[in-house]
Amino acid sequence: MSAIGFDLPEDVRVAREGVLGFVRREVLPRQEKHHDLLSDGRRLYGEDGAYVPAAVELIREVRMASAEAGFYAMCAPPAIGGGGLGHLAYYAAWEAIYHLCGGHSVLAPWVISHWAFGPSPVLTQVSERAQDEILEGLVSGAKSMCFGLSEPGAGSDATMIKTRAVKTNSGWRITGRKLWTTNAPTADWCIVFAVTDPDKAARKQGGISGFLVPTSAKGFTVESVVKLFGHVGGHEGAIVLEDLEVEPWQLVGTLDDGFKVALLGVSLGRVYNSARSVGQGRWALEKALDYAKQREAFGHKISDYQGVSFPLAQSATELHAAHLLGLNAATLLDRGERAVKELSMAKAYSVQVALKAIDRAIQVHGGMGLTNEVGLAQAWQDVRIINIADGTNEILARTIAQRLLAGDTEI
Ligand SMILES: Cc1cc2nc3c(=O)[nH]c(=O)nc-3n(C[C@H](O)[C@H](O)[C@H](O)COP(=O)(O)OP(=O)(O)OC[C@H]3O[C@@H](n4cnc5c(N)ncnc54)[C@H](O)[C@@H]3O)c2cc1C
């Protein structure tokens, strides 16, 4: 039974089913086997707040097994060793993964390469020497990277970054700070953005460049791990860059034009987050339906009460609409369109309705909905983050409004 009135292309369906098979074979059993480690913050994080080595190793194992099975880099460009599948495959596969796993799996987010952590179009912009150094490790899943753009004083408006790369005889010397860099505590490489031409940067006409930096380099320090929602650890790092020397081969893309590099990942990131939201929303909805059909109160299954079932009908309606928005935006991107408005709508709407769906599922579960065991609270936190990361909801609304006011009123 399908709720969608058109078929996904054969290669997309094959990729999605293949990925799901992989998750069932390789991810869920690992998650189960290492439940004590992965589901308890006291074991998952070390004193410094970063994942303990055993968890890092499990994540690495999943990436490498997925690469071996042909899924990890399936949507990365063939030029860097990827499978060349498009945005729709990326959307469909991620939506299916999160629909199956919910938002409380530490391992599931590593099944397919995220654009900022592994092989993605961003790597087509690195030099030949950099490709020689990093591609094999990243495409095989053995290594990972992170993306250092945001800073304590620059988030939505990334042109406000203060990290400075000063020209030297051998390249540049970078000094500054980064904040919120996901995967920084465990990554092998980081793409660091810095001001290379202060005058251009002040005029908001470029002047910012990206550099590929080994996280082991002298002058690169993950100062602390950012902890969210009262957790004892986390996966975002605060980075200090102190006289970090980089050479010309480490420049990513064109000098002073670093935002073009960032833009190469933005679409994939928003496709991912649309899918991640819809998948988790559906997972939560189905959990709530199952629970409502078996839980009894006042002589009836609670599903008999409209106070319980109508909110779930609302969730299903909204998630269905979000799913269609996501499929459509990904299809437009695969046709070569920029789909700026449509993708912003898909991401912003999917996050909103998934949050509501998870919250309603918590309510249907009563007190059980709040327990760590059920996983709904973790899913809510995971989706709540995406309301801020990867373009806040307000910034996406601003983008949509800008497009509308510029005459792009087709909906
Ligand atoms: C968990 C997490 C992971 C992240 N991972 C990374 C990463 O890997 N790499 C990286 O570089 N960054 C990362 N970020 C940073 C993320 O991109 C920023 O948090 C985001 O861009 C928002 O910036 P900010 O937090 O500084 O908020 P601000 O930009 O300070 O915004 C504060 C509030 O003002 C609103 N606002 C700002 N401008 C406008 C406007 N014009 N109109 C209306 N409202 C406006 C915002 O919507 C928000 O509500 C991550 C963030 C989080 C939370």
Query: What's the pLDDT tens digit per position in 178-233?
Result: 999 999 999 999 999 999 999 999 999 999 999 999 999 999 999 999 999 999 99
Same domain, 158 and 128: no
389 Cβ closer than 6 Å to some ligand 1 atom: yes
Of 230, 257, 284, the residue at which a domain comes to its end is 257
Same domain, 74 and 188: no
Query: How many whole angstroms separate alpha carbon 130 and alpha carbon 185?
Result: 21
Identify the segments of the chain with pLDDT beneath 70: none
Which of 117, 147, 156, 259 best tests ligand 1's pocket when mutated (most atoms within 8 Å of CB)?
A: 156
Same domain, 79 and 91: yes
Strand 220-226 to 296-297 pairing: unpaired
Judging by beta carbons within 10 Å of its beta carbon (0-12, 13-18, 19+), is residue 310 exposed, middle or buried?
Answer: exposed
Same domain, 251 and 267: no
395 Cβ closer than 6 Å to some ligand 1 atom: yes
**Residue 1: per-residue pLDDT:** 78
Three-class DSSP category at 151: strand
Asked if residue 401 is part of any domain, the answer here is yes
Residue range(s) defining the domain that contains residue 104: 10-139
Cβ atoms of 171 and 177 closer than 8 Å: no
Sign, Cα dihedral of 77, 263, 64, 327: negative
**Residue 298: per-residue pLDDT:** 98
- CATH code of the domain in which 226 resides: 2.40.110.10
Closest Cα to atom 31, ligand 1: which residue? 156
Same domain, 211 and 266: no
Same domain, 229 and 271: no
Q: Closest ligand 1 atom, CA of 193?
A: 11
Closest CA to 350 of 282, 272, 274: 274
**Residue 397: per-residue pLDDT:** 98
Same domain, 221 and 316: no
Of 232, 257, 282, the residue at which a domain comes to its end is 257
**Residue 262: per-residue pLDDT:** 86
Q: Closest ligand 1 atom, CA of 184?
A: 8
**Residue 131: per-residue pLDDT:** 96
**Residue 307: per-residue pLDDT:** 98
User: φ and ψ at 227, to 5 degrees?
Assistant: -105, 135
Same domain, 266 and 232: no
**Residue 11: per-residue pLDDT:** 97
Query: How many whole angstroms separate alpha carbon 151 and alpha carbon 194?
Result: 11
- CATH code of the domain in which 50 resides: 1.10.540
**Residue 238: per-residue pLDDT:** 98
The 10 Å Cβ neighbour count of residue 227 is 15
182 Cβ closer than 6 Å to some ligand 1 atom: yes
400 Cβ closer than 6 Å to some ligand 1 atom: no
Of 257, 272, 299, the residue at which a domain comes to its end is 257
Asked if residue 1 is part of any domain, the answer here is no
What is the number of domains present in the chain?
A: 3
Same domain, 401 and 267: yes
Same domain, 399 and 267: yes
